[in-house]
Structure formats: C-alpha cells, structure tokens
C-alpha cells in the first residue's frame, strides 16, 4: 500500500466514531511495553519532525527537540487522558510547541547567530493550533501520511479479503454493490469489513485520526 490516502477515507473514519477515548496503543505504552513505545514513536515521530521543520528548525535542532518531546511524553503519558480528554495529536502538539518555544528561548538568551530578535519573532509565529489542522496543502499531505502509517499498523491484523473490501470501500470509493459482486460476498459483508477496520484503527489510536 503506497501513496497518499485520499480525503474520502478521512470522512469514513470520522463517520466510524463510537465515542470511546480508550487506546490500546496508549494503554500498552503506559504499561511500559517497549514494542508499543516503538510503535508510538514510529507513528507520531515523523509528524513531530514535520512540526519542528515547519517552525524553521534545522535538521539538527529538530532532532534534539524531537528527543525532548518524546522524553516529555514518556514522563506524562499516565496523565494524558484524564487531563486532556481529546486527541492525542493535540496533546502532542502542545508538548512540541512548548519544546520549540524553549529552544528559541535558549537561542534568545544565548545570543547565537540567529539573533535574539529573530528568535523572538519565531516564538511569536508559533501557532496555537496544531499545523496539520490547517488547510495548507503540505499540512494536509502530512496528515495523509500519518493516516497511511496508522493504517499500516493495523493492516497485519486482517485477512486479505477483509482488507481488500475495506480498501475499495473506504479508500477507492467503490460502491458496496460493485465490491460485493466482484468479490463474491454480500453487501453486508462489505460494510462489516469497512466498519471492522475503521473501528480497529480508532481503538488503536484512541482518537479520530482527523
């Protein structure tokens, strides 16, 4: 599976909301599961890197800030849901923004080459909203890549026919009747395949990914 995840799957995931904010992934991270921690970093790390680069950090500084961000996540993950009750990405952006802010504050105090005035300006430019919520094409591309990674996380848990029916219904936008006829399954089977994958994705992430 490659390429950009189209907008219609964004809508499909929103429609699959069941109101639960529990997360299998976050629960395992809280239990100090090393595999779950690696999965979380693999899933969200590229998004944090993008946020840093979007805030005009160079690659070296961005790498340092990313380490600081995930160190903070590790220390605060037990309090995440009770304190925030919202999307994990929103909570993660708040931590990232604070760490970027701290980075520019250090530059401002140290009077490095970027200059105190420039550092102060960059602090002022940091948005309160998480960048991938904007309508900017590059931000939306990053959101699609995040969703692509999330789909890859749950892909291995489903049989090939289930995944194919889901993909055609949610990603390709094919009609239920066409999928059912082509695959030799019932229309209800197509709908169930789509629902199962979307529900699993939400259960894993503990949020609507959009």
Q: Would you report the helix, strand and coil content of the chain in percent, each value rounded to 5?
A: 75, 0, 25
**Residue 24 near residue 13, CB atoms below 8 Å:** no
- What is residue 24's predicted lDDT score, i.e. its pLDDT? 81
**Domain CATH code at residue 29:** 1.10.1740.10
- In terms of domains, do 44 and 107 share one? yes
Last residue of one domain, picked from the residues 101, 134, 167: 134
The pLDDT > 90 percentage for the chain reads: 39
Q: Is residue 3 part of a domain?
A: no
- The rounded distance, in Å, linking the Cα atoms of 33 and 35 is 6
Listed residue (29, 35, 63) closest to 49, CA to CA:
63
DSSP, collapsed to helix, strand or coil, labels residue 195 as helix
- In terms of domains, do 71 and 171 share one? no
The contacts of residue 178 (CB under 8 Å, 6+ apart) are none
- The rounded distance, in Å, linking the Cα atoms of 140 and 147 is 11
**Domain CATH code at residue 173:** 1.10.10
- What is residue 118's predicted lDDT score, i.e. its pLDDT? 60
The neighbour count for residue 93, using CB atoms within 10 Å, is: 22
Q: Is residue 200 part of a domain?
A: yes
The tens digit of pLDDT for each residue in 181-195 reads 999 999 999 999 999
> What angle, rounded to 10 degrees, do the helices at 88-110 and 116-125 form?
170
Q: How many domains does the chain have?
A: 2
Residue 67 has pLDDT above 90, yes or no: yes
- The rounded distance, in Å, linking the Cα atoms of 160 and 156 is 9
- 176 falls in which pLDDT band (50, 70, 90)? very high
Q: Is residue 4 part of a domain?
A: no
Q: Residue 182's domain spans which residues?
A: 156-210
The tens digit of pLDDT for each residue in 71-93 reads 999 999 988 864 544 578 888 98
- 131 falls in which pLDDT band (50, 70, 90)? low
């Amino acid at each position: 599976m490659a390429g950009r995840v189209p907008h219609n799957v964004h809508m499909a995931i929103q429609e699959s909301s069941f109101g639960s904010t529990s997360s299998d992934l976050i629960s395992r991270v809280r239990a100090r599961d090393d595999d779950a921690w690696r999965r979380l970093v693999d899933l969200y790390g590229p998004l944090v890197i993008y946020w840093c680069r979007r805030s005009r950090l160079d690659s070296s500084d961005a790498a340092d800030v990313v380490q600081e961000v995930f160190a903070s996540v590790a220390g605060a993950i037990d309090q995440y849901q009770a304190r925030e009750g919202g999307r994990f990405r929103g909570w993660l952006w708040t931590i990232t923004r604070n760490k970027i802010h701290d980075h520019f504050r250090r530059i401002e105090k140290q009077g490095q080459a970027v200059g105190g005035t420039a550092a102060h300006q960059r602090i002022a430019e940091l948005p309160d909203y998480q960048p991938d919520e904007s309508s900017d094409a590059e931000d939306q591309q990053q959101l699609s890549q995040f969703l692509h990674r999330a789909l890859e996380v749950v892909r291995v848990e489903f049989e090939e026919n289930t995944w194919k029916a889901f993909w055609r219904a949610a990603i390709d936008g094919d009609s239920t009747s066409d999928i059912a006829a082509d695959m030799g399954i019932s229309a209800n089977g197509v709908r169930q395949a789509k629902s199962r994958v979307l529900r699993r994705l939400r259960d894993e992430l503990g949020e609507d990914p959009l």
